[in-house]
Structure 1
Amino acid sequence: MTIKLVCIDIDDTLLNSKRVVMPTTRDAITAAIAAGVHVALCSGRPLAGVRPFLNELGMTRDDQYVITFNGAVVESVTGRVLHNKRLPENAYATLAAYAREHNLPFNIVDADSTIITPDRDIDAFTVVQAAENSAGLLVRDVGDLATDVVPIKGIFCGDEAMLDAAEDDVRATLGADYAVIRAGRNFIELMAPGVDKGSGVAQLAAHLGINPDEIMALGDEGNDIAMFDYVGLAVAMGNGSDEAKAHANVVTASNDDDGLALALKKYVL
């Protein structure tokens, strides 16, 4: 099996526990690109939140790609959109009402990477989310949302215990109308039906003319499972969740122990 496309999760996969790209990781990715392999970062973040890592990796050409918003948007690193799937109409009102009823901090992220929340008492995780993604943060009542806003995903955020208690009901109540993904322990993300990292990888693979068995994906969490199930070689990080590891073909070392670089050297280089 020859790997032609490598899809890499960012948090706790590309980044180590100090939230930086290790030099060995950067060198292995650079070598893979030099060998003619397509490399795509695949994240729940918007492009603005991915761009610092693209720049660090030297991925700046229009023929290089990212999968953002957990698969809702597939685009070149320069922002040329190949595929995008927005939230259903009235999602802001529907999800804001659910959040208010269940006392969950809530926001949406629009196509321009702006975070919009109806919450006057803004949750700390929303602030962190905005900072990590170099995003604007607006407070807007449901009736005040601008008509030209294109919401791509909704987020219930907060401490792990609160989201653990809420997750089953979120899935039961909203799962028929939204793709529900637990993206890390502090975020439950809601996208349009059918959206996940696997669907995003499939869209990019079709654009590049690459078969699933020619793709390697690396990740660590539940939101990586859909792309694990799509690709020919799924690699879970040693620091990953048990759920992610159960869907992987192999488990590499942790994100602090050169896990990504070791996998690239073994299966790609």
Structure 2
Amino acid sequence: MGIKLVAIDIDDTLLNPEGQLADETINAIQKTIQKGVKVVLCTGRPLAGVTIFLNQLGISGDDQYVITYNGAIIETVSGHRLAQHTLDFEDYLAADKLSYELNVHYNILDDESRIYTSNRDVGRITVIQAAENDEGLFVRNPEEMPQDLIVSKIMFVDEPEVLDAQIHKIKEIFDDRYYVVRSLPEFLEVLNKKANKGNALTDLLSELGLKKEEVMAMGDQHNDLTMFAVAGTTVAMGNAIPELKEVATYVTESNANHGVAVALERYVI
């Protein structure tokens, strides 16, 4: 049974260490698409932070899909939503309170890709995150936010050593209510319990009538583990965490050495 859909993480998987798409990767993905195989980007980013790469890869139309916010939203690349599992104003207030108690920078993303924080001393990582997102960064106190707020995800964003020191406490408080996952050394994400890449990919496969055996998934971090659980062929990057390499079908080259292209040449093209 051939592969009909390839699900690919973006940061440190699809992109090289400079945060760019290498020509080798673009060429391999375009060859994959030409064979009639769907390429679905599965990312913690909002759609506004993905569009530039979709355009470079030539992925467009209402029959092409993207999984954003770590699985909180499944949508077509043109923005039509198939499903969403989001958070609300009360969840936002809980994160705001914990941020100040633990002295960890945080922000939230709404369902239109806008980034909000009440941290007046906006953290360095938040600034970098906002630079990758066309919808902007807004500093607002909780009383300035609408109570019907739709939150796609909450992010504790800080230097890796800061998160390392507080991750146990955050999980201790939030694990029962939310899906809490480290997506990058600088990012700890808090989402709806139903929101993860694996659940979103399962929903998309059901929509498209595809079987697990027809799917390949590629990634590098903890938030890709749920995606690996629902794909027949799994590819860990050479730069992936050990936990992902242990369960992968194949360990490809690192993102510095065009690992996505190498894997596509091996299994699809």
TM, length-normalised to structure 2:
0.97
Q: Distance in 1 between matches of 2:24 and 2:244?
A: 24
Instruction: Give yes or no for contact 2:88–2:150 (8 Å, CA) kept in 1.
Output: no
Structure 1: which amino acid aligns with 2:223? N
1:87 aligns with 2:96: no
Q: Distance in 1 between matches of 2:256 and 2:98?
A: 39
Structure 2: which amino acid aligns with 1:187? F
Q: Which residue of 2 aligns with 1:166?
A: 166
Give the C-alpha shift of residue 88 in structure 1: 4.3
Q: Which runs of 4+ in 1 moved over 3 A?
A: none
Q: Which residue of 1 aligns with 2:198?
A: 198
Q: Which residue of 2 aligns with 1:10?
A: 10
Which stretch of the first structure deviates more once superposed, 120-129 or 142-151?
Answer: 142-151
Give the C-alpha shift of residue 148 in structure 1: 4.3
Q: Which residue of 1 aligns with 2:260?
A: 260
Instruction: Give yes or no for contact 1:88–1:192 (8 Å, CA) kept in 2.
Output: no
Q: Which residue of 2 aligns with 1:180?
A: 180
Structure 2: which amino acid aligns with 1:196? N
The percentage of aligned residue pairs carrying the same residue is 43
Which stretch of the first structure deviates more once superposed, 196-205 or 63-72?
Answer: 196-205
Q: Distance in 2 between matches of 1:86 and 1:201?
A: 16
Secondary structure of the equivalent of 2:229? helix
Q: How many residues align?
A: 269
Q: Distance in 2 between matches of 1:141 and 1:246?
A: 43
Q: Which residue of 1 aligns with 2:50?
A: 50
Deviations 1:107-144 (Å, cap 9, x if unpaired)?
Answer: 10000100011111111111111111223111111122
Q: Distance in 2 between matches of 1:126 and 1:173?
A: 23
Secondary structure of the equivalent of 1:171? helix
Q: Distance in 2 between matches of 1:102 and 1:148?
A: 26
Please give the residue correspondences for 1:125-140 in structure 2 after superposition, counting only pairs within 5 Å: 125-140=125-140
1:97 aligns with 2:97: yes
Deviations 1:146-190 (Å, cap 9, x if unpaired)?
Answer: 234311100001100110111111111101111001010001000
Q: Which residue of 2 aligns with 1:155?
A: 155
Give the C-alpha shift of residue 247 in structure 1: 2.3
Secondary structure of the equivalent of 1:180? strand
Q: CA RMSD for the aligned pairs?
A: 1.1
Q: Distance in 2 between matches of 1:10 and 1:234?
A: 15
Give the C-alpha shift of residue 255 in structure 1: 1.1
Q: Distance in 1 between matches of 2:186 and 2:195?
A: 20
Give the C-alpha shift of residue 89 in structure 1: 4.7
Give the C-alpha shift of residue 55 in structure 1: 0.3
Instruction: Give yes or no for contact 1:86–1:192 (8 Å, CA) kept in 2.
Output: yes
Q: Distance in 2 between matches of 1:135 and 1:177?
A: 28
Please give the residue correspondences for 1:12-51 in structure 2 after superposition, counting only pairs within 5 Å: 12-51=12-51
Which stretch of the first structure deviates more once superposed, 39-48 or 131-140?
Answer: 131-140
Q: Distance in 1 between matches of 2:178 and 2:68?
A: 17
Instruction: Give yes or no for contact 1:116–1:139 (8 Å, CA) kept in 2.
Output: yes
Q: Which residue of 2 aligns with 1:63?
A: 63
Instruction: Give yes or no for contact 2:60–2:77 (8 Å, CA) kept in 1.
Output: yes
Q: Distance in 1 between matches of 2:43 and 2:80?
A: 17
Q: Distance in 1 between matches of 2:134 and 2:244?
A: 28
Q: Distance in 2 between matches of 1:154 and 1:136?
A: 16
Task: Tell me: CA distance 1:103–1:221, structure 2 relative to 1, closer, same or farther (3 Å).
Answer: same
